[in-house]
Amino acid sequence: MIGYLKPDDNAFIEAIRILNESPKDLFFIDDKDANVKAAKNFGINGAVASDTIDFIISLAFINFKHFSFKTFCVCHFCIIHKL
């Protein structure tokens, strides 16, 4: 647990710090539009996925093969790191 809830700015600041990556190399997927918008405020691209099908479509949209499995997932908070 990082101690912050989405869409709190601190949640994204902490995720970026923990991953030690540039926000432009990250992709955020969440089921709430407000949370994706908050991620975008930090330069993290993202997509809203309300179910498994949306999640798979989001992965296809970002060309998932170019992303690693270095992820930050805590309590439905998932950021994918680009290779």
Domain count, the chain: 1
Q: Is the pLDDT of residue 82 over 80?
A: no
Range of the domain at 16: 9-82
Give the sign of the dihedral formed by CA 83, CA 57, CA 71, CA 27.
Answer: positive
pLDDT one-digit tens code per residue, 7-54: 999 988 988 888 888 888 888 888 899 999 999 999 988 888 887 777
**Phi and psi of 30, rounded to 5°?**
-150, 165
23 upstream amide cis, omega within 30 of 0: no
Q: Is residue 4 part of a domain?
A: no
The radius of gyration of the chain's CA atoms, rounded to the nearest angstrom, is 12
Cα 64 to Cα 5, 6, 7, 37, 81: the distances in Å are 26, 24, 24, 21, 10
Q: Is the pTM of this model over 0.85?
A: no
pLDDT of residue 20: 84
Q: Is residue 66 part of a domain?
A: yes
